[in-house]
Amino acid sequence: MNNSRSNQTKSFFKIKEKGSSLSTEFIAGCTTFLTMVYIIFLNPNILAKAGMDHSAVFALTCLVSAFACILMGLVANLPIALAPAMGLNAFFAYGVVLSMGYSWEIGMGAIFWGSLFFFLLSLFKVRHWLISHIPQCLRIGISSGIGLFIAFMGFQNMGLVVSSPATMLTMGNLMSISVLLGALGFFIIIVLAYRNFHAAVLIAILVVTMLSLYFDPDVKYMGIISMPPSISSVVGHVDIAGSFNLALSGVIFSFMIISLFDSSGTIIALTDKAGLADEKGRFPKMRQALLVDSFSSTLGGLFGTSSVLAYIESSAGISVGGRTGLTSIVTGILFLLVIFLSPLAQLVPIYATSGALIYVGILMTSSLTKVKWSDLTEATPAFITAVMMPFGFAISEGVALGFISYVILKVLTKRFNQINICVVAVAALFLLKFIFIDH
pLDDT tens digits for 201-260? Answer: 999 999 999 999 999 999 989 888 899 999 999 999 999 999 998 889 889 988 998 888
Residue 439 pLDDT level (bands cut at 50, 70, 90) = low
Per-residue pLDDT at 334: 95
Quick one: pLDDT band at residue 197, thresholds 50, 70, 90?
confident
Where b means 16+ CB within 10 Å and e means fewer, 36-64 reads bbbbbbbbbbbbbbbebbbbbbbbbbbbb
- Looking at residue 121, its pLDDT comes to 92
Write down the pLDDT at residue 269.
79
For the purposes of burial, counting CB atoms within 10 Å of the CB of 223, is it exposed (0-12), middle (13-18) or buried (19 or more)?
exposed
pLDDT band at 392 (very low <50, low <70, confident <90, very high): confident
Query: Is the Cα dihedral 192, 347, 301, 318 positive or negative?
Result: positive
Chain mean pLDDT for the chain: 91
Of the pLDDT bands very low, low, confident and very high (cuts 50, 70, 90), residue 283 is confident
**pTM: predicted TM-score of the whole model, two decimal places:** 0.86
Predicted local confidence at residue 179, as pLDDT: 97
Q: Write down the pLDDT at residue 393.
A: 83
> What is the predicted pLDDT for the residue at 84?
96
108-155 pLDDT per residue, tens:
999 999 999 999 999 998 887 887 788 989 989 998 998 899 899 999
User: How far is residue 330 from each of residues 23, 28, 86, 193, 201, measured CA to CA in Å?
Assistant: 11, 8, 22, 23, 20
Please report the pLDDT score of residue 57 as a whole number. Answer: 97
Task: Write out the chain in H/E/C secondary structure.
Answer: CHHHHHHHHHHHHCCCCCCCCHHHHHHHHHHHHHHHCCHHHHHHHHHHCCCCCHHHHHHHHHHHHHHHHHHHHHHHCCCCCEEECCCHHHHHHHHHHHHCCCCHHHHHHHHHHHHHHHHHHHHCCCHHHHHHHCCHHHHHHHHHHHHHHHHHHHHHHHCCEEEECCCEEEECCCCCHHHHHHHHHHHHHHHHHHCCCCCHHHHHHHHHHHHHHHHCCCCCCCCCCCCCCCCCCCCCCCCCCCCCCHHHHHHHHHHHHHHHHHHHHHHHHHHHHCCCCCCCCCCCCHHHHHHHHHHHHHHHHHHCCCCEEECCCHHHHHHCCCCCHHHHHHHHHHHHHHHHHHHHHHHCCHHHCHHHHHHHHHHHHHHHHHCCCCCHHHHHHHHHHHHHHHHHCCHHHHHHHHHHHHHHHHHHCCCHHHCCHHHHHHHHHHHHHHHHCCC
Residue 43 has pLDDT above 50, yes or no: yes
Q: Is the pLDDT of residue 83 over 90?
A: yes
pLDDT for 327 equals 96
Question: Mean per-residue pLDDT for 334-355?
Answer: 92
**What percentage of residues in the chain have a pLDDT greater than 90?**
66
Instruction: Work out the average pLDDT over 75-101.
Output: 93
Residue 1 confidence (pLDDT) above 50: no
pLDDT at 335 over 50: yes
Q: What is the pLDDT of residue 178?
A: 96
| Structure confidence at residue 281 (pLDDT) | 65
Above 60 in pLDDT, residue 403? Answer: yes
With 60 as the cut, is the pLDDT of residue 432 above it?
Answer: yes
